Amino acid sequence: MKLHYYPETDSLYIELKTQPGAETREIAAGLNVDFDAKGDVVGIDIDHASRKLDLTSLETIALPVARAS
């Protein structure tokens, strides 16, 4: 998962998968979800992110450790 912040548009994109999006749906004003060709969510775009979220810190809780091969 990757977070992309674009200050010129004040948008935050949360990339969940690297597959390209095939469809975007606006599920609420300023909240768009990208789906791949199979219908799986690949990303979430939040417009006016700094007005809706606290972007000054990032906290992760209980993320799984990378698996050893």
Closest to 13 in 3D by CA, of 42, 52, 56, 51: 42
Q: Quick check: 69 pLDDT over 80?
A: no
Quick: pLDDT tens for 9-60: 999 999 999 999 999 999 999 999 999 999 999 999 999 999 999 999 988 8
pLDDT at 68: 60
More confident residue, 36 or 63: 36
Confidence (pTM): 0.85
Q: What is the rounded average pLDDT of the residues 3-11? A: 96
CB contact burial 33-67 (16+ within 10 A = b; e otherwise): bbbbeeeeebbebbeebeeeeeeeeeeeeeeeeee
